Amino acid sequence: MKIILLWFLVATVYTALAGPVNTDYSVDNYVYPRFIKFPDGEGIMHDVDLEAPVQQSVFNEVSRNSADNQYLLYTRRNPTSPQSLVINNAASIENSNFNPRLPTIVIAHGWLSNQDSDINPVVRDDMEGFVLTPA
């Protein structure tokens, strides 16, 4: 029995050492696929070409002023009913449950979706601390 175990151990070590070990794990050496499938806010998959040139006309349509964004604050004191924080409006923060001493996590709802996407409550409910969700 001991001989079989010793033989198995030697075979395992030999097999592990037989192949070259790649110790270069840099992102620069990773080959990303050109085409991916990516879900929108309703879970519909879209083919995306990661090397496609930017369609400037579409980009200009969806570009928006950050002051028009809506930031929804969820905390342990208001886990399901968000408080709205407004850029350049200190009162919106001062009158909220925001506590700068606690961790803050920002969730961006994603591509072609909104704050009502199915994943947002899942991520929000799993977080420790404050969550800001741009709407």
> Residue 75, Cβ neighbours under 10 Å: how many?
17
The torsion angles phi and psi of 112, rounded to 5 degrees, stand at 55, 35
Contact 73, 83 (CB under 8 A): yes
| Phi-psi sector, 110: left (phi>0), alpha (psi -120 to 50), beta | left
- State the residue range of the domain holding 61: 26-134
In a domain, 49, yes or no: yes
Q: Is residue 9 part of a domain?
A: no
Number of domains in the chain: 1
List the one residue out of 91, 95, 97 whose CA is nearest residue 77: 97
Least confident of 8-12, 72-76, 92-96: 8-12
- Count H helices, E strands: the chain? 4, 6
Q: What is the pTM of this model?
A: 0.53
13 located within any domain: no
Residue 42 lies in a domain: yes
Number of Cα atoms under 13 Å in the Cβ half of residue 106? 7
Stretch 21-32: mean pLDDT? 65
Lowest mean pLDDT among 10-14, 47-51, 130-134: 130-134
Q: How many residues does the chain have?
A: 135
- Written as six digits, the tokens of 115 are 């704050």
In the block, which residue shows the tokens 């408080």? 83
Q: Would you say residue 32 lies in a domain?
A: yes
pLDDT, tens only, 3-21:
665 565 555 656 655 556 5
The span from the CA of 94 to the CA of 7, in Å, is 69
